[in-house]
Amino acid sequence: MKKVRVRFAPSPTGALHIGGVRTALYNYLFARQHQGDFILRIEDTDSARFVPGAEDYIVESLRWLGINVDEGIGVEGKGLHAPYRQSERRKIYVQYVDQLLDSGKAYFAFDTPEELDAKRNEIANFQYDASTRNVMKNSLTISAAEVKERLANGEKYVVRIKIEPEQEVVVHDLIRGDVKINSSRIDDKVLWKSADGLPTYHLANIVDDHLMEISHVIRGEEWLPSAPLHVLLYRYFGWEDSMPQFAHLPLLLKPDGNGKLSKRDGDRLGFPVFPLNWTDPKSGEQSSGYREAGYFPEAVINFLALLGWNPGGSEQEIFSIEELVNLFSLERVSKSGAKFDYEKAKWFNHKYLQQRPVDEIALEFNKILINQDIFEDSEKLIRITALMRERANFISDLWNDAKFFFVAPAEYDEKTVQKRWKTDSPQQLAELADFFAELADFTAVNAETLTMQWLADKGYGVGVVMNALRLALVGEGKGPHIFDITEILGKDETVTRIKTAIETLA
C-alpha cells in the first residue's frame, strides 16, 4: 500500500487565512492517523503577487498551532525532495514542459494580451480551446520555422495544454464521489510563461505532487473546477496509475452562511480571520490574529476541526489533538459549507481556559498586571484567578473582571448607584465598617456567618446592605460572592473602601 503523504501548499501572497489553516489541519490529522508524512510546500510561481514576510508568517502560524511539519519549508534538513519552493524548482519543470511539447500534448502560443482582449470582445464567453485555437497565433497555426524564429528572437510566449474535445474526464473525490465533466468545457490553460520563466500553478502542482510522491491531495473546494485539468495532466504524463486521491473540502462561510468567509467579515463583526497578527508590508494595514486576541492554539484547532467535519455518534465537542487524530476521517467531512460561528470560537476558548491549571493561568495573568505596574503576591493572585476564571473567555478578561481586586474604585457606576445606593446606605455601611473592624477572623465563612447575624439583629435588609457593600468594594454591581471579595481584599482594605464610598456617594 502506498505510504500516505500529504502536502499543504499555500502561496506567499499575504497572511494565512483561517480557511487555509483548516486545510492544513485536515491534512495533518489525516497524515498522523495513517502514520504518514505532512509536507509544507510554498507555491510561489505567481511572482507578481509575492508578499515579503508571508512565508515566515505561514511557518510561524503552523508552529504556534502545533501543526508540525515533517518535511519541507521550516524543517531542519528539509527532506529528500528539496527544494520545496516552486520558484527554486524552475529547472525541474522545464523538462516536463518539453515532454508535453514533444508529445504534442502542449503548444507554444504567441498571442499578445491586446490580441487576447480583442478576441474576447469579438467572441462572447471566449475561451482558448479546440474551437478557437486554430484562429490564434500559436504553433498549431504557424509553421515550425516561424515558431523557431520567434523563439530565437526572444519573443514572449506561453505554453498551453492541448485539450482534446469530447472526452469524459472523471475526478474521483473522496468527499463528493465521482465528478464527471466533458473535456470540451476545459480551456487550453497556460502551463508555462516565458516572461518569468515559471510554470503556472497547474503544471507545477502536478509535477511536484508526482515527484514528492503525494498520495492524497486534500484542498479547498475552490480547486474542484481545476481538478479535471489536473487529471488530464496526469494522463498526458503517463502518471494516471500513481495519481493521488483527491478530497475537496467545503468552504468556510460567513456567519450568516451567505458566501465565503472573508477578512471584511472579521473586520465588520470584530473577530480575527488570521492565526497571528499581520501587517501588510505594502499598505501598512494591520489585521488581528487569534494568538494575539488571546486564544489558545488548542481551542482554535478544536474549533476549526468541527467546521466541516463531525465525529459521528457523539455529542462530544471538546477533543484533544490525539482524539482528533484517532477520529478524523474524510468520509465524515461535509460536502456543504460550514458557517463560521465566532461566538462558538469564544466558547471553545472558555472551555480550554477552565481546563488549564490555575497556577498556569495566574502566571499569564501576572504578565498583564506587570504591564499595569501591579506586582501582586503569587498566592493571592492564584486565589483571585481561581475565583474569577469561570467567567472568563480569555486571560485578558481576568483584568477586566477582576481589576477591582487590585485597584480601588475611582468612580461608581451611575446606574448601579441609582438602583442600589439607598438613603440609609451611608449609615448602614458606616455601622458595617465598624463591625468589620472588630472582627478578629475575617475569612469568608466566618465574616458571612457573623454579618448575617448582625444584619438580623439590626433588622437591616440583607439585599439592601449587601448590594450597597458590593458597589462600595467593586464600583459596580458585578463580581463573585461578596465575602470571597472581602476575604481577598482583607479587612483594612474593605473598611477603607466602604468609608471612601460613603464620602463620595453620601
CATH number at residue 474: 1.10.10.350
Q: What's the total number of domains in the chain? A: 3
Q: Report the pLDDT value the prediction gives residue 415, as an integer from 0 to 100.
A: 96
Could you tell me if 273 and 263 are in contact, meaning their C-beta atoms sit under 8 angstroms apart?
A: yes
In-domain check, residue 400: no
- Same domain for 237 and 257, yes or no, is no
pLDDT of residue 314: 82
Q: Do 130 and 197 fall into the same domain? A: yes
Last-in-domain residue among 221, 249, 277: 249
Q: How far apart are CA 397 and CA 385, in angstroms?
A: 11
pLDDT at position 48, please?
83
**Same structural domain for residues 97 and 229?**
yes
- Domain finish residue from 183, 215, 249: 249
Q: Name residue 358's amino acid.
A: V
Residues 340 and 193 in one domain: no
- The answer to whether 314 and 326 have CB atoms below 8 angstroms apart is no
Q: Is 426 inside a domain boundary? A: yes
* pLDDT value at residue 417: 96
Q: Which domain holds residue 192?
A: 89-249
The backbone region for 284, taken as left when phi is positive above 0, alpha when psi lies in -120 to 50, beta otherwise, is left
Question: Does residue 374 form part of some domain?
Answer: no
Whether 412 and 505 have beta carbons less than 8 Å apart is answered as yes
Q: Does 136 share its domain with 49?
A: no
373: amino acid identity, one letter: D
Residue 212 falls inside a structural domain: yes
For residue 436, give every residue at least 6 positions away whose Cβ sits within 8 Å of its Cβ, in sequence order, or none.
442, 447, 486, 491, 494, 495, 498
Q: Report the distance separating Cα 181 and Cα 161, nearest Å.
A: 17
**Are 278 and 14 within 8 A, CB to CB?**
yes
In a domain, residue 245? The reply is: yes
Residue 335 grid cell: 460536502
The cell for 272 is 480575527
Same domain, 139 and 188: yes
User: Does residue 495 sit in the same domain as residue 481?
Assistant: yes
- What was the pLDDT predicted at 129? 96
Cα 30 from Cα 329, distance rounded (Å): 7
Which three-class secondary structure state does DSSP give residue 187?
A: coil
84 assigned to some structural domain:
no
Question: Are 93 and 224 part of one and the same domain?
Answer: yes
Is the separation of the CB atoms in 221 and 83 below 8 Å?
Answer: no
**CATH number of the domain enclosing 151:** 3.90.800.10
Determine the pLDDT at residue 315: 86
| Per-residue pLDDT, 76 | 77
Indicate if 300 and 155 belong to the same structural domain: no
Residues 342 and 485 in one domain: no
Residues 6 or more apart whose Cβ sits within 8 Å of residue 91:
none
Residue 147 CB partners (closer than 8 Å, separation 6+): 108, 139
What residues are labeled active site?
263
**How far apart, in whole angstroms, are the C-alpha atoms of residue 342 and residue 348?**
10
Strand duo 216-220 + 177-182: pairing: unpaired
What is the reported pTM?
0.92
- Partnered with residue 173 across adjacent β-strands are 177, 246
CA-CA distance, 476 to 471, in Å (whole number)?
A: 5
- Looking at the structure, do residues 30 and 105 belong to the same domain, yes or no? no
pLDDT at 483: 98
Query: Taking each helix axis from N to C terminus, what angle separates 482-489 and 444-458, rounded to the nearest 10 degrees?
Result: 120
pLDDT in tens, the chain (506 residues): 789 999 999 999 999 999 999 999 999 999 999 999 999 999 998 888 899 999 999 999 999 999 999 999 989 776 889 999 999 999 999 999 999 999 999 999 999 999 999 999 999 999 999 999 999 999 999 999 999 999 999 999 999 999 999 999 999 999 999 999 999 999 999 999 999 899 999 999 999 999 999 999 999 999 999 999 999 999 999 999 999 999 999 999 999 999 999 999 999 999 999 999 999 998 999 999 999 999 999 999 999 999 999 998 888 999 999 999 999 999 999 999 999 999 999 999 999 999 999 999 999 999 999 999 999 889 999 999 999 999 999 999 999 999 999 999 999 999 999 999 999 999 999 999 999 999 999 999 999 999 999 999 999 999 999 999 999 999 999 999 999 999 999 999 999 999 999 999 98
Last residue of a domain, one of 199, 226, 249: 249
Q: CATH no. for residue 318?
A: 3.40.50.620
C-alpha cell at 93: 519543470
DSSP per-residue string spanning 387-413? HHGGG-SSHHHHHHHHHHHHS--SS--
